[in-house]
Amino acid sequence: MSNKYNKIAVVGAGAWGTALAQVAAMAGRQVTLWAREAEVVESVNGLHENRLFLPGIALDKGLHATGDLKEVAEADAILMVTPAQHMRRVLEELAPAIAEGTPVMLCAKGVEQSTNYLLTEVLAEAMPQATPAVLSGPSFAAEVARGLPTAVTLACEDEEVAEALGNAIGLPAFRPYYSSDLIGAEIGGAVKNVLAIACGIVDGKKFGDSARAALTTRGFAELARLGLAMGARMETLAGLSGLGDLILTCNSPKSRNMSLGIALGEGKTLEEVMGTRNSVSEGVHSATAVIALARKYDIEMPIAEAVAAIVTAKATVDDTIAALLARPFRAET
């Protein structure tokens, strides 16, 4: 099957990167999946399964894994799925070999902690010759890899590139919806991870469904305030990459960030939870960066502020909850 972007490289072979590589392979593309871990390369190529990060799911036999970044540079389009805090380093390593105008789709969610930059800003500095795009939305890797129906936002300022990328990886069960609002697509994915930790704490404390619904709604108000201040469009924030992703992540223990919050609410320490995981709970790293952005744009985000205080050990879970519940009554909007 021919397409403008027939050769796809996916950088980052965690659960989400592997799922996106599977999608592209099922769409008929020639797919290279880059992994840092040698055991992942061997598992994907030899067993057609990522036993470390996505066990139990058979992968397309045409999917090729590699540990050599030089193979990534040969692709027509690149999907970057490395964690947000490692994105700059990998982009800088790749940049000298990437041709001018190559589409680079950012599929990780988060804010760079050291600079408080969105990942498109990181891309602009580390690989300025790339054409930036963002893929974000309500999606669990295992469900996507199994071919269950999923819809996402694919944002790119160049409409022709956006449509070609969508055609390259789109399937009847994996539906990309186009947008030109990169900031909106990024903000939703970054902030919802922080809010999901808060919703997990609510579940861990057994505060009930009403409390979680209230927290999700007030959390969306925080997300929207920040996004609009940074130039995002409300229709993007209320769409798949904003509200849609928030609903999914704040209502399922399958979410890494919500499950971490549940453990915190049950009394476990952050170190205890993180020590048992081989995957990243990005909300932990993005919390302080989101708060820094809120202060920069003079936006009130009390829920995100509370999460940042908890994950940096500046306040206990119980004290933070008490402070939130003691806030004065006010108008909803």
Contact 173, 162 (CB under 8 A): no
Helix (H) or strand (E) holding 112: strand 111-112
- DSSP assignment, residue 81? -
Contact 68, 1 (CB under 8 A): no
| Whether residue 192 lies in the annotated active site | yes
| Cα angle, residue 11 at apex, residues 6 and 16 outer, rounded to 5° | 95
Round to whole Å and give the CA distance between 277 and 17: 17
Contact 324, 302 (CB under 8 A): yes
Per the DSSP assignment, residues forming a β-bridge with 78 are 9, 104
The residue among 128, 120, 103 whose CA lies nearest residue 7 is 103
The residue among 142, 124, 128 whose CA lies nearest residue 183 is 124
Contacts of residue 1, Cβ cutoff 8 Å, sequence gap at least 6? 27, 28
Annotated catalytic residue, options 192, 205, 206, 296: 192
Contacts of residue 57, Cβ cutoff 8 Å, sequence gap at least 6? 22, 49, 50, 142, 145, 146
Give Dmax (Cα) for the chain. Answer: 60
Active site residues: 192
